[in-house]
Structure 1
Amino acid sequence: MSCSRDSRTRELLDGARHILPLLLGAIPFAILFGSLAIDAGLTTAQTLGMSLLVFAGAAQFVAITLLAGSAGAAVVLSTTLVINLRHLLYSAALQPHVRHLPSRWRVLLAFWLTDEAYAVVQQRYARDDGSSCKHWFYLGSALAMYANWQLFTLVGVLFGQRVPNLTAWGLDFAMLATFIGIVVPTLRNRPSLAAALVAGGTALASRDLPFQSGMLVAAVAGIVVGVLLERRAGNRLTGEAAR
């Protein structure tokens, strides 16, 4: 099936529309980042530059916390690397769907890959409707999130310079609410539910590990449990079919 201009436009707009609820959840998160970055001593240009070039909310928060504590560059880089290792899992899941694209497409989509974009894009790829334009859906959702993050980082910079101590407003809850909105719709069977519960419990138990490595430990624990239960369920179905 060819990818006509109408199909590309439709997929692009659908991608932006489907990610809209998650954009709303990211707004206070971006505002808080902009404010905290200024409080940590970054200039307006540095704050906006970090959002433009890094575009990784959790990593940006950790980076400014470490910078405010006078951490060295090696510590900042290694810690944010660990935090963003989850994107390897996202990339592995999406790779079969985008490997046919030219390198210019894959590079851009890889840069714009976020938790929110993955949440809506993987659902689009799961719909087997024969569309050859699904990467335009990916592009629409990714661009919408990117523009949203830049705009409200700027709002946070301007707002934070006029209203001190934005953290007292409870905006940091936005991160938790956003991730809950991402995870809950994907919990459709026992393996996925067990993986989420194990990952959450492990994250709590390992929250004091250095360099935020508890996130990686929790991710690995959740994956292992999910894979084992999936294999167990598959083996049971195979055994029942053989009888």
Structure 2
Amino acid sequence: MSVVFEPGPDRLSEFLAGVRAEAPLLLGVVPFGLIYGVMGLSAGMPGWAVVLSSSLIFGGSSQIVFAQLWGAATPGAVTVGTVGVVNLRHALYSAAIARYLKDLPWRWKLLLAYLLTDEAFVAAMPRFRDGPTSAARHWFLFGTGITLWAVWQLATLGGVLIGAAIPPGWSLDFSVALTFIALLVLSVSRRSELLAAFIAAGVALAAFGLPHKLWILLAAGAGMLAGVLLRRFDRGSAHE
């Protein structure tokens, strides 16, 4: 019986290519993780819970939302619902990449589903969409995902351990917005996606004053609904 993680030449080259593809995005991931570590502590979460959440939730935006809702003493149902809606984008990533991984055994599918986050998807999707077909290409996604996972855990731990020593003048919190702007620019390739992004932004601005951070829930839902309804604008696009 073969060992799942025994890399051959093709597997190793795909894995290393995935690591290289992910590396530029880590410039935003490190300060993002530091910020989450600091934010989690500021919201009243114990240090161990902050670090553990980076493995259990493993989604930067979802963890930021979770910390904010924790600090605001938001009811549990609203917290779970909001974090769940924010994480629904991962289901969309899975749907987009599933056809390239359909022949993999379940152990690989479960692992890659866990590692499939924003940055891993953005880095890996061009390889699947435009690269050559290879029986080892899932190792590319594994390379992007495990690299991000390891750096995110260390960055969160660093935020918990040294966050209080980071000078406020560094304004690391701005890197959160920059990270998602960069991901948005890299991932939007269809007219429907661009329109959905603008609609979600508009809803977020209009609903920003609602209690319990409900503007996040409404904006996420509006963006996903708009993306589905506006797909007709993609007809005739080269990306279809």
- The bucket for the TM-score relative to the shorter chain is 0.7 to 0.9
Per the alignment, residue 237 of structure 1 pairs with none
Identity of aligned residues (%): 37
What amino acid is aligned across from residue 121 of structure 1 in structure 2? A
Tell whether the 8 Å contact from 1:52 to 1:150 is kept in structure 2 after alignment: yes
Tell me what 2:177 maps to.
176
Unaligned runs of 5+ in 2: 1-5
Matched residues, number: 228
Offset at 1:64? 1.3
Counterpart of 1:217, as a letter, is A
Greater CA radius of gyration, 1 or 2? 1
1:114 Cα offset (Å): 0.6
Alignment check: 8 A CA contact 1:198 1:222 kept: no
Q: Which residue of 2 aligns with 1:90?
A: 93
Conservation of the 8 A alpha-carbon contact between 1:78 and 1:211: no
Structure 1 residue 206, shift from structure 2 partner? 4.5
The range that moved more, 174-183 or 83-92, is 174-183
SS of the equivalent of 1:64 reads helix
Partner of 2:220: 215
Contact conserved, 1:191 with 1:230, CA < 8 A, in 2?
A: yes
| Pair 1:17 & 2:38 matched | no
After TM superposition, give the deviation of residue 207 of structure 1 in Å: 4.2
The letter for the 1-side match of 2:49 is Q
Q: Identify the residue that residue 77 of structure 2 maps to in structure 1.
A: 74
The TM-score normalised by the length of structure 2 is: 0.85
State the Cα deviation string for residues 106-128 of structure 1 (Å, max 9, x = none). 11111111111110111110124
| Distance (Å, rounded) in 2 between the aligned partners of 1:145 and 1:105 | 17
Contact 1:48 1:150 in 2 (8 A): yes
Cα offset, 1:205, TM superposition: 3.8
Q: CA deviation at 1:94?
A: 0.8
User: Cα 1:4–1:67, aligned 2, differ >3 Å: closer, same or farther?
Assistant: closer
Number of the residue aligned with 2:9: 6
Contact 2:21-2:124 at 8 Å conserved across structures? no
RMSD: 2.3
What is the CA distance between 1:211 and its match in structure 2? Answer: 6.2
Q: Within 2, Cα distance between the matches of 1:220 and 1:90?
A: 15
* 1:75 CA displacement: 2.1
Aligned match for 1:230, one of 228, 234, 237: 234
- C-alpha change, 1:157 and 1:218, in structure 2 (3 Å) is same
Q: Report the alpha carbon displacement of residue 219 of structure 1 after superposing the two structures with TM.
A: 2.6
Task: Give the match's secondary structure for 2:232.
Answer: helix
For 1:25, the aligned partner's letter is G
Q: 2:32 aligns with which of 13, 16, 29?
A: 29
Q: Give the structure-1-normalised TM-score.
A: 0.84
Partner in structure 2 of residue 185 of structure 1: 186
Distance in 1 separating the partners of 2:104 and 2:190? 32
Answering whether residue 146 of structure 2 is matched by residue 143 of structure 1, we say: yes
Q: Is the 8 A contact 2:54 2:152 kept in 1?
A: yes
1:103 is matched with 106
Aligned to 1:46: 49
